[in-house]
Amino acid sequence: MAQDRPEADAVAYESLDQLKAIAAKGPAIVYFHADWCPTCRATMVSLRGRWPEIQPGITLVIADYDAETELKARFGVTYQNTYVQVDRNADKLVVWNGGGIEALNTRPQFDY
């Protein structure tokens, strides 16, 4: 039940091992962000301002779209402002583009 989950968290992507450790603990979503992308910048402002609205328990892992080429290839990501929900093994479950807070609250599949 969502009320039993800890507050949502956001961390910078560091490594696949880090992502696997996060995913093993609960719902993890990778957000591919690019500093040069106006939509990504607006999304980050919205996320900061509306963070308390995000479903409890989610960990948003923010990955640099330009730098994380191996991670993009792993998930088949070809566009910035893309979200990838991963399972407990950090394998791709659901992929979507954009949508901000509303998408974070409706697109992920929570089975753990």
Average pLDDT, integer, range 10-33: 96
Q: Is there a domain that residue 70 lies in?
A: yes
H or E element: which one contains 63?
strand 59-64
* Cα distance between the two ends of the chain: 10
Q: Is there a domain that residue 27 lies in?
A: yes
Residues 11 and 61: beta-carbon distance below 8 Å:
yes
In the predicted model, is pLDDT for residue 18 greater than 80?
yes
- What is the number of structural domains in the chain? 1
Mean pLDDT taken over the chain:
91
pTM for the full predicted model: 0.90
Q: Is there a domain that residue 83 lies in?
A: yes
Domain of 9 in residue numbering reads as 2-106
Q: How far is CA 1 from CA 27, 36, 65, 110, 112, in A?
A: 13, 38, 33, 10, 10
Q: Is there a domain that residue 72 lies in?
A: yes
In sign, the C-alpha dihedral spanning 5, 10, 15, 16 is positive
Q: Is there a domain that residue 15 lies in?
A: yes
Q: Is there a domain that residue 97 lies in?
A: yes
Q: Is there a domain that residue 111 lies in?
A: no
